[in-house]
Structure 1
Amino acid sequence: MSDIKKMYSTILGDHFPLEMTISFGEQRLVYRKRTWNIPQENGRYEERGIRYGENPDQEAALYELVNGNLILGDCSFIEPGNGLVSAITAEDMLQVGKHPGKINLTDIDNGLNIIKYLMARPAAVILKHNNPCGASCGASLAEAFDRANRADRIAAFGGAVVLNRTCDRDTAELLANNYLEVVCAPDFADGSLEIISRRKNLRVIKMARIDRLAEFERYRFVDFKSLIDGGIIVQQSAVNAIRTAMDLKPATAEWQGKTYRCDRQPTEREIDDMLFGWAIEHGVTSNSVLYVKDGCTVGIGTGEQDRVGVAEIAVHKAYIKYADMICFDRLRLSYADLELAVARGERPGEEKEAIDEQVRADRAGLPDSVMISDAFFPFRDGADVGIRQGISAILQAGGSMRDFETIEACNQAEPKVAMMFTGQRSFKH
């Protein structure tokens, strides 16, 4: 059997060419392979590309668009000179750690894909395996990261963090208290890098262009999906069209000659959470359902085949993460460690029982949260999952033949639940 741990510490190298050209009829896009001159422990430097691909036995390469202006129909795609992840230089790697592999870079990229819609306020997104596990806005960057981390301390372990403001000392202290793989920010204030550097293997990346990230809302890129037969599916990248309250649509439906309307309109706070949640949804693998409250994720359900199932998974995760958060606040250990200690007779069972009771009483923080669905509910059962947990509002695409049932579910709830439609789905595969 191969030594897995040794494989993860080995630089695989690759045989991909230094330049790649893709032709769209008479138009050409030219890409250049990105490598870095990485300092070694012996004081020398070594030219390296991506550490490895999704697994340590897969060669991989990173390419930056360096030439070509692609126009197809009425869509002008992003032009060269706007590099983010693909333009990272060795100088941008303020702390190399184990220099990045494919997953690290795609986590950063998806974090940027989400946070570009959250640039108005300090925000933090923590990602694991290309899905957000916690995301939040805050009055300060430290508050934003702390809330995102507390939303799911379990999954944040070994995650990638993307920040949309200069990392200050307060934020750095919080980062240094967690095991993370990557931290990416537009800049790092004096003293913050020394604090973060307590974690020797942490990859710390400065990406100055994050300050201009809101400009990337309007850019489309060519999205490739390679097939096992060597074929490729090509599509335009998705764009989030729900940016203001004016973009939301009233939840109405016609069924057998009757018009159904949601009785209650969302509050200003609920609208803010709808817009925040839809921005996060843009980076979550489908099928997905999110619960958000006060500009922070409460539960994230990802990648399920049925919508009611993913709504239930998001609830289940919310309860697990909430119990872990309370346990850490009270006892400075994880809920899993507490369970094990109680089972071994090393800690009193009353400690666990008190936490469980608090979680049940608080219903994992789900009451008054906003439920976000990346497409319509084909039946009302998905919405009913959230309503049973006390959500106050729903945002979904709308467009199901049974929209009237979901509207009825909101109107029959006690208290009534507000609902709005986007008219746009947000699938990501």
Structure 2
Amino acid sequence: MKDFKGIYKQLVGDCFPSTIKISIGGQTFIYQKRSWEVDGEKKGLRYGENPHQMSALYELINGNIILGDCHFISPGQGLVSALTEKDFHQFGKHPSQINLTDLDRGLQILRYLMDKPAVVIIKHNNPCGVAYGNSLTEAFHRAYFADRIAAFGGCVVVNRSLDRETAEEISQYYVELIAAPDYASGVVDILKQRKNLRIVEIKRIERLADYVNKTWLDFKSLMDGGLILQQSPYTRIKSKKDFYPAETEYKGKTYRIKRVPTEKEFKDLLFGWYIEQGVTSNSVIFVKDEATVAIGTGEQDRVGVVEIAIFKAYTKYADSLCFKKHNIPYKQLEKEIAEGKRPLSQKEEIDFLTKDAYGGIKGAVMVSDGFFPFRDGVDVAIKEGITAIAQPGGSIRDFESIVACNEAKPPVAMVYTGERAFRH
């Protein structure tokens, strides 16, 4: 019988060169391939996106490119690509491409969230849950239970020294990788109880805010061997003052939003917009009290992704309630009720509480990475009790979204970002 589990443990050889030199317009980048010695075996990435794909990680070690007013990031500022053996307190096994791209995406989001203890949980290059907290433990708890189901096997990135209390909570759950600027005494030993967990120290996490205005040269490869080059994504939104009040003109009539966001709503809108910088588009995010309620990702239509985010909010809220109350997933509760092992009343209570809280959406704000081409996406979200919206603006039918917000009882606030946040 073929060992299908074994394919995930194998090390795939790669034929990529030790160095790469890329010249653009007479300017040059020089990259060095990264490898690590694990259990006596020197190797780079375990494999690519899938176990049968070759892959290699390269660090920028020399050169710089300046194109017009765009200064791309220079050598000596490595984060993920600069990791050496000493930065891994535990390898578990050689990291794969997805492990490190998840970590990189988490850092891309976290660079905007350095003011307070924050935790980002990433899986398949999309955040599962993101939260601020008064402590790192609180931030992790809020981020994890924003989507406990998706967080299984995810990558946890924190912006403060990992303390014992937070480590003990994290160690209760299965995660693939943890990254922190450093670890308090005894914390690594707690985490090492999970032998396959990758425990990573990235000291530059403490200075992630320095990367907010830095961009890198982003390569997109085509199946015909062609390349698309672009400046990496970034946002000009740095404070509530950078949002625009929702206003537009249609057929000679001016439409203005009735209500501007409150201070609390502005905080949540900013928080959500920063998370949007690392979410696959089309996407919308529901945020409440500077923590994600639900993240809708990668859908082709705007109203569809709002509906998916709402479905996820209800599903995850019910699961979190069930896990906290009965210490089992919601799906297991349903199964045990069907088998006669638990009373139906337990499910009915969870369902009632979830519906009563609108899956946690009531009182939340909604952030969208693209404009709303029709008012349907706005209407669907308003029905669930959102209080404010941030979106790029620029649709021919922006007036419809403004009317929808003004017609709501009470009126819903809306601001424009004046920029899109697509990621593909």
Instruction: Give, in whole Å, the separation in 2 of the partners of 1:242 and 1:219.
Output: 14
Corresponding residue for residue 49 of structure 2: 54
Corresponding residue for residue 364 of structure 2: 369
Partner secondary structure for residue 371 of structure 1: strand
Do residues 287 (structure 1) and 282 (structure 2) align?
A: yes
Do residues 340 (structure 1) and 335 (structure 2) align?
A: yes
Contact 1:107 1:127 in 2 (8 A): yes
Contact 1:322 1:359 in 2 (8 A): yes
1:258 is displaced (CA, Å) by 1.2
1:168 is displaced (CA, Å) by 0.3
After TM superposition, which residue ranges in structure 1, 4 or more long, deviate above 3 angstroms? none
Do residues 277 (structure 1) and 309 (structure 2) align?
A: no
Corresponding residue for residue 209 of structure 2: 214
Corresponding residue for residue 302 of structure 2: 307
Partner secondary structure for residue 278 of structure 1: helix
Corresponding residue for residue 119 of structure 1: 114
Contact 1:13 1:50 in 2 (8 A): no
Corresponding residue for residue 31 of structure 1: 31
The verdict on how the C-alpha distance between 1:281 and 1:341 changes in structure 2, with shifts beyond 3 A counting, is same
Contact 1:377 1:398 in 2 (8 A): yes
Instruction: Give, in whole Å, the separation in 2 of the partners of 1:412 and 1:2.
Output: 62
Corresponding residue for residue 69 of structure 2: 74
Corresponding residue for residue 413 of structure 1: 408
Counterpart mapping for 1:238-253 below 5 A = 238-253=233-248
Under a length normalisation based on structure 2, what TM-score does the superposition of the two structures give? 0.99
Partner secondary structure for residue 283 of structure 1: coil
- Aligned AA for 2:179? C
Partner secondary structure for residue 209 of structure 2: helix
Partner secondary structure for residue 224 of structure 2: coil
Do residues 155 (structure 1) and 145 (structure 2) align?
A: no
Count of equivalent residues: 424
**For 2:163, which of 159, 168, 171 is the aligned residue?**
168
Partner secondary structure for residue 15 of structure 1: coil
1:99 is displaced (CA, Å) by 2.1
Encode CA deviations 1:234-253: one digit per residue, 9 max, x unaligned. 10001121110110101001
Query: Which range is displaced more, 290-299 or 7-16?
Result: 7-16
Do residues 191 (structure 1) and 190 (structure 2) align?
A: no
Instruction: Give, in whole Å, the separation in 2 of the partners of 1:353 and 1:185.
Output: 40
Instruction: Give, in whole Å, the separation in 2 of the partners of 1:185 and 1:352.
Output: 38
1:2 is displaced (CA, Å) by 5.1
Instruction: Give, in whole Å, the separation in 2 of the partners of 1:2 and 1:48.
Output: 25
Corresponding residue for residue 321 of structure 1: 316
1:125 is displaced (CA, Å) by 0.3
Instruction: Give, in whole Å, the separation in 2 of the partners of 1:399 and 1:2.
Output: 55
1:233 is displaced (CA, Å) by 0.6
Encode CA deviations 1:339-395: one digit per residue, 9 max, x unaligned. 111111111111111111111111111011000000110000011111000000000
Structure 1 unaligned spans of 5+: none
**For 2:93, which of 98, 102, 121 is the aligned residue?**
98
Structure 2 unaligned spans of 5+: none
1:335 is displaced (CA, Å) by 0.3
RMSD, aligned α-carbons: 0.8
Instruction: Give, in whole Å, the separation in 2 of the partners of 1:343 and 1:301.
Output: 30
Instruction: Give, in whole Å, the separation in 2 of the partners of 1:114 and 1:37.
Output: 30
Corresponding residue for residue 263 of structure 2: 268
Corresponding residue for residue 20 of structure 1: 20
Instruction: Give, in whole Å, the separation in 2 of the partners of 1:285 and 1:197.
Output: 32
- Aligned AA for 2:254? T
Corresponding residue for residue 231 of structure 2: 236
Partner secondary structure for residue 37 of structure 1: strand
Partner secondary structure for residue 91 of structure 1: helix
- Aligned AA for 2:135? S
